[in-house]
Every structure is written in structure tokens, then in C-alpha cells.
Copies of this chain bind each other. A is one copy, B any other.
Amino acid sequence: MKGRNFVGVGLVGFGTIGTGVVKVLERNADVIEQRLGFPLRLVRIADLDTTSDRGVDVSKIRFDDDSAGLIADDSVDIVVELVGGYDFARKLILDSIGAGKHVVTANKALLALYGREIFGAAAKQGVEVAFEASVGGGIPILRSLREGLNANRIESVHGIMNGTTNYVLTEMEKTGEDLDVVVKRAQDLGYAEADPTLDIEGVDAAHKLTLLAAMAFGAELTYDEIPTEGITGLTPVDFEAAEEFGHRIKLLGIAKSHLDAAGGERIEVRVHPTLVPAGSLLAAVDGAMNAVAVTGDAVGPTLFYGAGAGELPTASAVVADLIEIAREVRRGSAGRVAPLSYLPTELTAKPLVPLGEISGRYYLRFTAVDRPGVLAHIASVLGENEIGIESVLQKGRAQSAGSVPVLILTHPAREAAIRSALEIIDALDDVTAPTRLIRIEEGL
């Protein structure tokens, strides 16, 4: 920024979030300068679509489709990548780093797969890569792990990190409607994509959990290593039963550190619908909101709540990254050593805890012929596998084809034992559909 009195920002990708970034930089320019002491100026925008009206005045900003030119522009200190997707975004970020530009991105999918390459290139070049907006939208959760809680050995992370699924779950609970109906409405309202698969199947949450696990535990993993279940297959009866059992259903990304006596560490990571206690803070997170609960060995339980998506909340996080980097650029101290909270040399591929080894209470929805003795049979198989029953609920009489749902809350058991029992139970003649298992998390 020699010869200039401002730090310059180039924006690539002028969609919803990009428009939010333009709005925030424009309308809060005064506050930002009161915090920085100099202007943070958007100097250039690149997008293939240079004609659509985004409802913001960019007549004084150079705006074309030349992202290579933007990267090469001397007045650009920081490149904001809001293109999304893999190939183009990856090249854009690596080219920016190669040109000595700092990078801000919200692209969790990219970082969850190519993080090692991107952070490695940035470290080599001595530039910053910041990505607060990639997890939890406007919630400063990455910064809190990297800075606010960094005196702690992090013990666990539990996050509601996908607004679309949380909206769908909240609506299903409230209305008693089927998943398809609610997803359709979410699409009509703009809360769900035309193809909602990445959200509904938990993949987006797994992308975010990959980044959280790196920041919390220094664990290097890619998102496809995370056992992931989406919310498909949940039915209105699950929500009714959860309520009667004193719980609510949330799609959680969960990461825990397991230390053994010799100091060895294994990491438990998983994404799935989860029963959480009705009185817990996570249970109170409704609609499209997000929250991440973090437990540290010193601080104990904490929770961070806010909008997980949307134009302005996400822009809030992008601009916070811009402000942080701008300050460093101005000081001449930019070139973050530990973007993932741990030094790159300390990130290691820690062994993962197999799902069969985890232990907890389970909600089981059996679908069985409505005939005397069936419950006794199911209970006896559970007993043989040393799974205790805490509560049983049988909803009405046969709903379809002579079958009824039988809902059981177990005492704590190992998942391997649950799976063995379910294999036997699901093969019984009287059991007419595969049993649905939902894990329960305590102490939230």
C-alpha cells in the first residue's frame, strides 16, 4: 500500500454475499475508519455478470469480468473470493497468494478439501488467508477459537451450523408436517437451494466441522472422513416422541478430543440429527439461526449464537476479516502464522474414534407389526446386547399396513452394541422397516 493512505480491497464474485460486502463497506465506512485510523476501500469488483442490478451503487468502483486483472492491480491489497465452488475459486485464491495478495474467503467446501494446499501456499508466501464467514455466518466463532479461547485445551464442539436444516427441523416440529413439504416451503422462501442435497444430507455441516476440528484440536482431516448423516428419513412421529422424551431434534456437527492415559489424542467427529435436552441453549436455537457450543478445559462451557447465513450477516464476517488484515497490512506485520489457530507444523492427522466405539443414549424408532409380544421380543434382543431401556412409547394403533412405530430411549450403551442389536431386530419377521437411530447428546 505504498504511496496510498488506504488499504485496497478487490471483490471477486458479486452475488448475494458480495453485494452484502459492498453495502457494509459503504454504509459503515465511517465506523470502520474510526476503528482502523485509515480507510478500507473497495477499489475493484470482478464478476462474469456485469449487468444485473444488485441494488447498490458501484458507479465509482471499477467493475468488470477481469479477475486476473483484479489480482494484478497494484491498488488491491486483499482479494475477497466469493465465487464459491472448487476449480475457479481454487485457482483464484492460489493466483492471488502467488501475487502476494492477502485473501478472504467464505468457501468452506474449498477449504475443507484443499485447505492444506491453500494454507501451505499462504505460509510460504507470507500472506494471510482469513475465512471467518465460512463457518457460522456472522458469528465470530473461528476468531473465538483462534484467539478468545486459545488458552484452553478444547474438549468438545457442538454446532448447529446449517441454517437450512435448522429451519426445516424447526418447522417440522412446529407444524407436524413431512420433510418434503417443509423443504418445498423453505425453497419457496429462499431458505433452501433449488438442489438442497448438500444441506439436507449434512455435507455442508461436515465441511464446517472440518475447519472447526482443525482450529479446536489441530486435527488435519478432510470432510469425507467425517461420518455424516442428514435429516432425510426423519418423520413427524420422531418430533412428537422427542418432545415426550424431553428433547428436541437438531442437526449437530460434533467434535470431541479423547486423551488416553499416555497423552495420545484421538478425535471423534460426526454430523447427524441429534436429540438435545429441551432446556439446553442449543435446543432454543430456532429457524435459520446457528450456534456453536465449545467446551474448554479452563473456560468450561461456552456458546456462540447468531445468523448462520444471509447477505449482511455473512458480510459482517467477511468485513471483520478485511479489517483485521488491513490493520496488519498497515503495520507491516501481515502474514499470519497460524490461520487455523495452531501453527501449520502442529497440524497433524490425528486418529479418529470409530463410530462403533462411541457411547451414549439412543433414541430408536422401530417399525413393527402391531401384535402382542413384539415389544417383548425387541426388548429381549436389546437386553441380550446389554442395552438398558429408559423409556418406551407406542404411538396409537397400526398407521399403515398393520405396522406401528415403537419408540425407545436407551440407557447409555456403546454404538457397536446398538448396531448388533438392530441387525438382529431388523431381521425379525414382525419388524417391517429398518429401525431409525438418533443419537442423544447430554450436558449441553
Contact = CB atoms under 8 A, between A and B. Distances in A.
Interface in A418-439: none
A150 B320 contact: yes
A27 B259 CA distance: 14
Interface stretch (A32-40, A43-51, A243-251, A400-408): A32-40
A306 B316 contact: no
Interface stretch (A84-92, A140-148, A349-357, A383-391): A140-148
A24 interface: yes
A31 interface: yes
A346 interface: yes
This chain: copies in complex:
2
A198 interface: no
A298 B319 contact: yes
Given A34-B342, A297-B28, A306-B303, A149 B153 contact: no
> Which interface residue of A23, A143, A341 has the most chain B CB atoms within 10 A?
A143
A34 B299 contact: no
Nearest to A328: B333
A374 interface: no
A144 B151 contact: no
B284 A305 contact: no
Nearest to A302: B306
A279 interface: yes
A320 B149 CA distance: 6
A1 to B, nearest CB: 16
A28 B153 contact: yes
B313 A306 contact: no
Contacts of A6: none
A317 B148 CA distance: 7
Given A37-B343, A304-B304, A151 B32 contact: yes
A109 interface: no
Contacts of A297: 27-28, 312
B307 A301 contact: yes
Nearest to A141: B148
A139 interface: yes
A20 interface: yes
B307 A299 contact: yes
A342 B297 CA distance: 32
Contacts of A312: 297-300
A337 interface: yes
A147 B140 CA distance: 8
A65 interface: no
A60 interface: no
A341 B35 contact: yes
A203 interface: no
Nearest to A294: B306
Contacts of A151: 24, 28, 32, 315-320, 322-323
A413 interface: no
B299 A152 contact: no
A23 B298 CA distance: 9
A423 B303 CA distance: 43
Contact of A324 (B138, B147, B324, B343): B147
Given A32-B150, A139-B148, A291-B303, 20 more contacts: A24-B151, A28-B298, A32-B151, A34-B218, A140-B148, A140-B149, A144-B144, A147-B323, A148-B320, A151-B319, A281-B284, A281-B305, A284-B284, A296-B316, A298-B312, A298-B313, A298-B315, A300-B306, A302-B307, A303-B306
27 contacts: A28-B151, A28-B153, A34-B346, A35-B342, A35-B343, A35-B346, A138-B149, A138-B296, A138-B298, A143-B143, A143-B144, A144-B144, A144-B148, A148-B317, A149-B320, A150-B323, A151-B322, A281-B284, A297-B312, A298-B312, A298-B319, A300-B312, A300-B313, A301-B306, A301-B307, A303-B306, A333-B333
Interface of A: 20, 23-24, 27-28, 31-32, 34-37, 132, 138-140, 143-144, 147-153, 218, 279, 281, 284, 291, 296-307, 310, 312-313, 315-320, 322-324, 331-333, 337-338, 341-343, 346
